Chain A
Amino acid sequence: MAEAVTKKAPSNKATVTLTIDGRSVTVDKGTTVLEAARSLGIHVPTFCWHPKLKSVGSCRMCYVEIEKMPKLQVSCATEAMDGMVVATDSDLVKQGRRAVIEFILMNHPLDCPTCDQGGECQLQDLTFAHAIDDSRFAFQKERFVEDGSVSTFDDVQIGPEIMLNRNRCIQCYKCVRANKEAFGEFDLGAFERGNITEINAAPGRQVDNPFSGNLAEICPVGALTGMDWRYKIRVWLTKTVSSICPFTASGVNTLMYMDETKNRIYRTTSRRNDEIDDGWLSNVSRYAYQVVHADDRLLTPFIRRDGKQVEATWDEALDLIAKRLSDIQDQKGCVCIGGLVSPRLDNATLYGFNKLMRHVIGTNNVDYRTEYRMLPQTPEDHYQAACSQPIRISDVDDSDVIVVFGSDMLKEHPNLYLRIRKAFNFGAARIFILNPYSTKASDVAELEMVYHAGMDEVALGAVCLTAVEKGIVSSDETDRLREAIAFDSASAAALACGLEPDHLELMARAMAEARKVTFLAGEIISRSREREPIAAAICNLNRLFSINTKGQFGILPGHSNSRGAHHLGLAPDPPASIKAKLRSLWGQYPDTETNTTDSMMVQMRKEEIDGLIIMGANPVMLYPDRAFARESLEKLDFLVVSDLFETETTELADVVLPLSSWAEYTGDYVNLEGRVQTASKAIHPIGDSRPGYAIVEAIADRLENTLYTAEDYRRDEIDTMLEVDTACPVPNLYVPSKGGQDEDDAEYPIALMIGDDPHHRGHYTEKSASLTSHVGEAYLELSPDLAAGHEIKEGDSVRIESPVGKVVLPARISEHIRNDIVFVPRNFPSAPVTSLLMRKRRIDRVRISKVVR
């Protein structure tokens, strides 16, 4: 087991010194003997111990002999004491462990040949290690044969991706404990007792939580195995490649199991990194590899000929792109070409794309934020400041107070969600959640405050005003603050956003008294049209409570390389430091007009932009105004789209280029902390697809302007760019934070929230069979009262109408949502939910009605 506990840095805590196998070690008080031994690199075998869970000592495998103690002790549950003399390898210990294995094997079937865990089974390894070939338990083994067994092997499928074999279970309870302690899910339990203890799904439920894949991974035997790995390949025939998840902004570390001869990835497991993921993967990260092997990957370039897209060679496609782009450049000028790129692509692609657009073509029409309402043309200084604040994921662990604002953590940052749970379960964190709708993290929250949709900045303003009025914090600029918030009193602000004054006071007091505060804002803020005033409100809050001096705050980026895109200058108008660096690298920097996604679309409609290159992004599906995006792209003379799949956007393209996925080339990604991580190449590109950086470099070559003179220049230039300090200063004054509001429309009373399903992220994951087996179609989440008002029952078809469109979706009734809000996931192309949205609105409002057949 590669779970060696890293030697802890000496802290100011009390320490104890003990001797293990003749070696002396000093550890913090409270450390277990097992952890102390592992810090020395001594391997103590375990089944039930997990570094991120509380010890239970149920397997007894970690026996050690401690002097002056009459019996063997389980090291995972024995606290290290001063002067202890521990032997981990004495004859008595070996004898004890042998007996434990013999006991465990009492009821464990010897069906290793048919067991998927064979080859990576801890029980197998330890049985061999202890040379056990005989058993004194000559009687019949306990066998679970009940209805629900799908085979003569007594396998029971307890979830979309989890197969259970209760016979093989050794009752280490790791799965149940992880499910409860780490994930806060209650769909798996340990029932009965003694000989017939069984792990099973909770009565009437399926194990389908967004972290369920971890259960199969941490099972030390073959009791819980993953369906995606079931009877596919033996583990010793695969090679592992270290990678990262391209769907989460935290960039969780993964290990891909692949077979070279077949050029295929078979599964993903975690590669524990305590700084980022603690070894837990969300199902999105775990099953995303199936996207790579989806049947409908684009395999060759396509060129539109006579209105139809036909297969073409790379040479034809690249020649056409070069010819048409230079035509547009010659006839109308380089400002008539634009580029949109997905922030999920790696650094080399993003930087190459930037250089292609800005240096080779010479336009400032570049953007990577194709999913946000990009309306405001004013500079977004406060938003940039809040986005570029230093954040450390591991600092969440020991924060006293964690505030989550405008973010559905489970859906946006599953690993941060687990961190917050950890801080609650293992630390002493008080958690406050401020959201326009209730989220899954509410069960660990001391207080969940749900404000009226579109009142984000008012809610924060109310917190600030309460703190000032109640004298919780002293500020000599109270008037300025009031002016900035544009409310006279806390009660008025609280009333406007629908929050309880008592709650506000509790939160303000907690934040003021805390030693270390973590304040995290998320996608609900970034997606809002008014993100600049909201960011100003966050800055005001930060100034009032001095969060950045005693903790961290910031708006979390949404994608795996959003931070990288920002660093590499993919924003239409990047910070001055980036511009200066780019100018010094390239010798020039275009001084043309800068255009965001939205203003580019406006120009396309005016036919001021004629050529567009899109890489990896799908604005037609994800831009918050589908009709607008589609019509804009249709107006283009020439559209190049590079993507993994045929999408709504590639349908409109004149040239479609097949893009390689993250697993097919080595690429670097910058996670939300600013940490640069590498996803190594696992397999060769599928079909004729090419990595993004190769595509942009090929286009540049055809435009007779080579991007890099030597191979290593690419890396050098990117490294130079990543060194640039892009942190924008937080304003040291209270800044105005009044956001605009929409006009009320009585016809459309319900606010519509669009986001990701917990099992999906963005627009690729619906290609993963395992993820669609959890959630395969879009739904409308609404409150029981709202459903009752419209006579809607679970699963009924509901028509959702906005002024611009309508969609019919099945209803899903949820206790967590308020009566004036509905939620729809945006991940499914079959349900074009963005067609309900209008780009100029702050909050989209809809009305719903039951479809009567």
Chain B
Amino acid sequence: MLAEESIALIKEKAAKYPERKSAILPALTVAYRQVGHLNDELYSEISEIIRVPAVEIAEAATFYTMFPKHPVGKYLIQVCHNISCALLGADSLIGYLEEKLEIKKGETTSDNLFTLVTVECLGSCCTAPMMQINQDYYENLTRERVDEILEELRTRA
């Protein structure tokens, strides 16, 4: 699955580290950037390139919720559900998003536009509840604000 330039990039990054294991996360990032998600096949490919057992790569990859493990829609909606956000209504926000997008947590809309997941704290507690869509933070969310954001993304897509 990995393209030639990704393999070359992983090798280049791996060369920087004295411990082979240290190259796991940079390699996973390269693979994620190219493919859009991670899976078992990629773990074994990376394992062959950086010569670390595949299971250790899988362990690292599954530890980080930032790497999706299944194909995701164009917009990956990551809603924080940790303490600050939860106190300010993250659960109802997730319920609202599920209702609005007509999907369950962890699913992708049929038009392949949105994927909804919940994540651990994203470090923006002072602006809770918040979510991250792809690389951008959306903060101080209300139902109206969510409507606006989704509408904007739909039109942008």
Contact = CB atoms under 8 A, between A and B. Distances in A.
Interface stretch (A149-157, A186-194, A413-421, A431-439): A186-194
Nearest to B52: A186
A113 interface: no
Nearest to A184: B53
Interface string A160-200: 00000000000000000000000000111111111000000
B81 to A, nearest CB: 11
Contact of A189 (B59, B65, B120): B59
Contacts of A192: 62-63
Q: Which 10 pairs from chain A and chain B are nearest by CB?
A: A186-B53, A202-B55, A203-B40, A189-B55, A191-B62, A189-B59, A186-B55, A193-B63, A192-B62, A203-B58
B140 to A, nearest CB: 26
Interface in B53-102: 53-56, 58-59, 62-63, 65
Interface string B16-42: 000000000000000000000000100
Nearest to A198: B62
Interface of B: 40, 43-44, 53-56, 58-59, 62-63, 65, 120
Contacts of B44: 203-204
B120 A203 contact: no
Contacts of B43: 203
B61 to A, nearest CB: 9
Contacts of A202: 53-55, 58
A330 to B, nearest CB: 68
A76 B54 CA distance: 30
Bin chain A's interface residue count: 10 to 19
Contacts of B65: 193
A269 B123 CA distance: 48
A189 B56 contact: yes
Contact of B55 (A187, A193, A194): A187
Nearest to B63: A193
A188 B43 CA distance: 15
Interface centre among A187, A188, A189, A192 (most CB of B within 10 A): A189
B59 A190 contact: yes
Given A186-B55, A189-B58, 11 more contacts: A188-B55, A189-B55, A189-B56, A191-B62, A191-B63, A192-B62, A193-B62, A193-B65, A202-B54, A203-B55, A205-B55
B54 A186 contact: yes
A722 B32 CA distance: 66
A191 B44 CA distance: 16
A712 B53 CA distance: 57
24 contacts: A186-B54, A186-B56, A187-B55, A188-B55, A189-B55, A189-B58, A189-B59, A191-B58, A191-B59, A191-B62, A191-B63, A192-B62, A192-B63, A193-B62, A193-B63, A193-B65, A194-B120, A202-B53, A202-B54, A202-B58, A203-B40, A204-B40, A204-B44, A205-B55
Nearest to B64: A193
A203 B59 contact: no
Nearest to B61: A191
A753 B111 CA distance: 59
A512 B64 CA distance: 48
Interface string A195-226: 00000001111000000000000000000000
Contacts of B56: 186, 189
Nearest to A193: B63
Interface in A691-726: none
Nearest to A190: B59
Contacts of B63: 191-193
Contacts of A188: 55
A186 B40 CA distance: 15
Interface centre among B40, B43, B54, B56 (most CB of A within 10 A): B54
A188 B56 CA distance: 9
Contacts of A187: 55
Nearest to A189: B55
Contacts of B55: 186-189, 202-203, 205
A234 to B, nearest CB: 34
A202 B58 CA distance: 8
B147 to A, nearest CB: 31
Nearest to A186: B53
Contacts of A186: 53-56
A530 to B, nearest CB: 37
A816 to B, nearest CB: 15
Contacts of A203: 40, 43-44, 54-55, 58
Contacts of A189: 55-56, 58-59
B57 to A, nearest CB: 9
Nearest to B43: A203
Contacts of A191: 58-59, 62-63
A204 B55 CA distance: 10
A190 B58 CA distance: 9
A205 B43 CA distance: 13
Contacts of A193: 62-63, 65
A147 to B, nearest CB: 15
Contacts of B62: 191-193
Nearest to A191: B62
A189 B63 CA distance: 11
A187 B56 CA distance: 10
Nearest to A204: B40
A187 B59 CA distance: 12
A189 B54 CA distance: 10
B51 to A, nearest CB: 10
A191 B54 CA distance: 12
A622 B54 CA distance: 39
